[in-house]
Amino acid sequence: MTDPARRTSLPRLAMGLGLAVALTVGIGQGLLALAEQVLSAQTHAALIGQMRRGDTALGMYALLFSTGAMGVAALITARLVHGRRGRSLLGPLPLALRQFGRAALALLLVQALLTGLLMLWPPWPMAAQMLPAMAPGRWALLLPLTLLALLVQTGSEELLFRGYLQSQLAARFSRPWVWLLLPSALFGLGHWAPGIYGGNAGLVTLWAVLFGLAAADLTARTGTLGPALALHLMNNLAAIAVAAPNGPMTGLALYILPIDMEDEAMLRAFMPVDLLGIGVGWLAVRLALRV
């Protein structure tokens, strides 16, 4: 993935990162402005509220699809600033698709096993405490669109942080810690939300940094974005569409976990379990792909 990243001086990279941020914000604001023109004032205000709370399927779809602005920004930036074809951010496409499929299958099996243990094994007997959030029939009917929305969201983040930033840094610096840590740190900062997580905002940010490191390592080991995208997609599928913590972003969930995002003690107690799941998923992908 570093072969196409030739024009990668630090000033050019800084300019590219600035352009990517500006395009992400600009495209996102443009979409909101377009919605304001098309919808009535009342409908537009209701949609914005649903996007902020994430408590309805419509609000979640609007929120997830709007993150596509980040992916579009990464593709435009790669072309304009670095002269790269957009598909070069993925690595060799046939290999990326094969690795994505194998990684996703391995993660699906691992998540099924871990979920069973998590639901039944003390001290996390959550099966009896989970609350239904959506009728199973409606959830299954919406699942294809939900997968597409999650693919747009996770794919856009992976394109920017691993596909673009990591490969450009790797072409410029020979020290792995630079191109592993810097994109992961920026990815973590994007999850800084003290308004939602309160005193645990730093812990959630650290979680995101560690997740970013796992995705960055898989990208470096395999030479494509496929495995990192599979890890990201399957993680978000479980946390957003299968069993979401109680709080914002529950609009697509089948169940709601008895974990209150505003309960700092409860969230701190659950975070090591979630990190263990990420670590097991990372290892499962490595074993499945033999990297």
Per residue in 80-89, pLDDT tens?
999 999 999 9
- Is-contact 16 22, C-beta < 8 A? no
* Higher-scoring residue by pLDDT: 175, 8: 175
Closest CA to 7 of 73, 76, 80: 80
173-207 CB burial, b ≥16 within 10 A, e <16: eeeeeebbbbbbebbbeebeeeeebeebbeebbeb
Both tokens of 89, joined, read 């951010």
Nearest to 166 by CA among 241, 93, 218: 218
Question: What pLDDT does residue 127 have?
Answer: 58
Task: Answer whether 73's CB lies under 8 Å from 20's CB.
Answer: yes
Eight-state DSSP code of residue 175: -
User: Model's pTM, two decimal places?
Assistant: 0.93
User: Tell me, what's the pLDDT at 124?
Assistant: 53
Antiparallel, parallel or unpaired: β 255-260 and 243-246: parallel
What is the pLDDT confidence band of residue 6, given thresholds at 50, 70 and 90? confident
Instruction: Tell me the pLDDT tens digit for each residue of 162-200.
Output: 999 999 999 999 899 999 999 999 999 998 888 777 778
pLDDT at 258: 79
Cβ-based burial of 76 (10 A; exposed 0-12, middle 13-18, buried ≥19): middle
Token pair for residue 215?
């995705």
90, 155 in Cβ contact below 8 A?
no
Number of other CB atoms surrounding residue 42 within 10 Å: 8
The residue ranges of DSSP E strands in the chain, in sequence order, are 131-132, 243-246, 255-260
Query: What is the per-residue pLDDT across 215-270, written as a single tens digit (0 to 9) for each?
Result: 999 999 999 999 999 999 999 999 999 989 888 889 999 999 877 777 777 777 77
Please give the Cα distance from 110 to 125 (Å, whole number): 19
Find tokens 């914000």 and name the residue.
Answer: 25
pLDDT digits (tens, 9 = 90+) for 113-164: 876 666 665 555 555 577 889 999 999 999 999 999 999 999 999 999 999 9
